[in-house]
């Protein structure tokens, strides 16, 4: 699971890949369409997905890629709910995926965003395991 070049951009829907860095912003590429555009750092904030973590009840946090890995492993038995589902359904699903998440510090909006990102990446085929990627490179 490679999240290294993927970013979330405030004010823009979906996820993007960083294509180039400019002094006043980034050139971003939409994952699904491949279209590139400039996003100004004055108007937008950029959050790399690899830097995002989910709070756990032991006072620590777990990386987003671990949460995505758990979601992918449970995809057949426990598919993610729609983001329009109620707060109780989303929290129940997230408790199945990450049993030790901190319900006081992880809000329903955060869970919706994680489910939306997972669905977006799954549809784009970007949630392949790292072991699969490294074995292909060796061949």
Q: Write out pLDDT tens, residues 81-139.
A: 998 899 999 999 999 999 999 999 999 999 999 999 999 998 888 887 654 444 344 44
Residue 60 clears pLDDT 60, i.e. is over it: yes
| Count: domains in the chain | 2
Proportion of the chain above pLDDT 90, given as a percent: 72
Distance of CA 91 to the CA centre of its chain: 17
Q: What's the pLDDT score for residue 134?
A: 41
Which one of 14, 33, 48 terminates a domain?
A: 48
Does residue 139 belong to any structural domain of this protein?
Answer: no
Taking Cα atoms as reference points, which of 27, 47, 25 lies closest to residue 37?
Answer: 27
Dist. CA 131–CA 123, nearest whole Å: 20
Predicted TM-score (pTM) of this structure: 0.84
Q: What is the average per-residue pLDDT within 25-36?
A: 93
Going by the DSSP 8-state scheme, the letter that residue 14 receives in this structure is: S
Domain around 44: 6-48
Please check whether residues 44 and 59 belong to one and the same domain.
Answer: no
């Amino acid at each position: 699971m490679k999240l290294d070049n993927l970013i979330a951009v405030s004010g823009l829907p979906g996820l993007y890949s960083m294509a180039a860095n400019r002094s006043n912003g980034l050139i971003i590429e939409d994952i699904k369409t491949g279209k590139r555009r400039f996003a100004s750092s004055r108007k937008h904030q950029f959050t790399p997905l690899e830097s995002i973590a989910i709070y756990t009840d032991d006072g620590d946090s777990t990386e987003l890629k671990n949460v995505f890995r758990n979601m992918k492993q449970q995809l057949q038995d426990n598919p993610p709910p729609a983001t329009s589902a109620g707060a109780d359904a989303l929290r129940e699903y997230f408790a199945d995926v990450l049993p030790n998440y901190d319900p006081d510090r992880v809000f329903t909006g955060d869970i919706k965003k994680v489910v939306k990102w997972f669905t977006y990446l799954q549809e784009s085929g970007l949630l392949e395991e790292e072991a699969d990627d490294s074995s292909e490179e060796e061949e």
